[in-house]
Amino acid sequence: VIKCKAAVAWEAGKPLSIEEVEVAPPKAHEVRIKIVATAVCHTDAYTLSGADPEGCFPVILGHEGAGIVESVGEGVTKVKKGDTVIPLYIPQCGECKFCKNPKTNLCQKIRITQGKGVMPDGTSRFTCKGKQIYHFMGTSTFSEYTVVADISVAKINAAAPLDKVCLLGCGISTGYGAAVNTAKVEPGSTCAVFGLGGVGLAVIMGCKIAGASRIIGIDINKDKYAKAKEFGATECISPQDSKKPIQEVLVEMTDGGVDYSFECIGNVGVMRAALEACHKGWGVSVIVGVAAAGQEISTRPFQLVTGRTWKGTAFGGWKSVDNVPKLVTEYMSKKIKVDEFVTHTLPFDKINEAFELMHSGK
């Protein structure tokens, strides 16, 4: 058993608490990882807020991490002690009907136990002050050591800087893949990206790499426009600058609507606007943002009858074990940006400050 520091969420709506936790050794088909770096994501904040119906407490959050394999359980063959890895919140078992289908990346092998905050055998590897602590998204990267299923880990280039590539565990991969895998953006197309946080910037990057000729960034926070343009946005607009609904503004700006739109916020009203900003006959809108529990999307069916397509994406459509190492290679060869997404680097005990910076849009 390893004793180490972890940021524990004891209950919903309260700041994380840095505690000493015990991390049990990996059982069969499990891997124990020394986490070197982790990022914070809105999904962590969503669960911490108490709005997530799958949220269990007390829990160790975090799902964008990178580290070194400390030990492996019986039967583990894909990784060994000392390997550099990224934990995966969407695993890839290679055996379930989802993994065998090229149309999806949504491996279901451990979905049920992962959603309940436990390892595939139904138990936890974390304890603190004599209490069992739940796992989160199969990763729990807000701990100096974590245990994951062996299908939830990608071995990556050992030379990669872990304080950067941890971001490929969720946000950057999700946005980039939404553009290149889910929407399949084509050269010369016009795109609109709603929400210019980390995921939105990654969508912009994907649209640019795919050859889009016009990329319109949409956000009410104008402080984000300069960064969006660095990533490839050709122009940025705020919905608050017009009396008309933003979809009407975009339809006018683009002679009928955009070819591709992306919602990167998790707001069902914006999801509707993003669909309705698409061009009649061929426009495709991709939902990337995660809306709060119980919310529903709506539009007039005529929007779809007249040739628009509404899609969604999880982790950018990447089959995780196969593609995360390739994304790291693309970063190392400068095909995709990663360093530019990092705004602040903080010591682990300042993790609550990291959440404050995220909520303030900084």
pTM: 0.96
Low-confidence ranges of the chain (pLDDT < 50): none
Q: What is the per-residue pLDDT across 36-46, written as a single tens digit (0 to 9) for each?
A: 999 999 999 99
Nearest in space to 135 (alpha carbons), one of 147, 144, 145: 147
Where exactly are the structural domains of the chain? 2-169+319-360, 175-313
Q: Can you give the pLDDT at residue 361? A: 84
Q: Can you give the pLDDT at residue 293? A: 85
The structure tokens listed for 282 are: 């061929």
Superfamily of domain 2-169+319-360: Medium-chain alcohol dehydrogenases, catalytic domain (3.90.180.10)
Dist CA 75 CA 119 (whole Å): 16
Q: Can you give the pLDDT at residue 14? A: 96
The structure tokens listed for 115 are: 């959603």
CATH class for the domain made up of 175-313: alpha beta
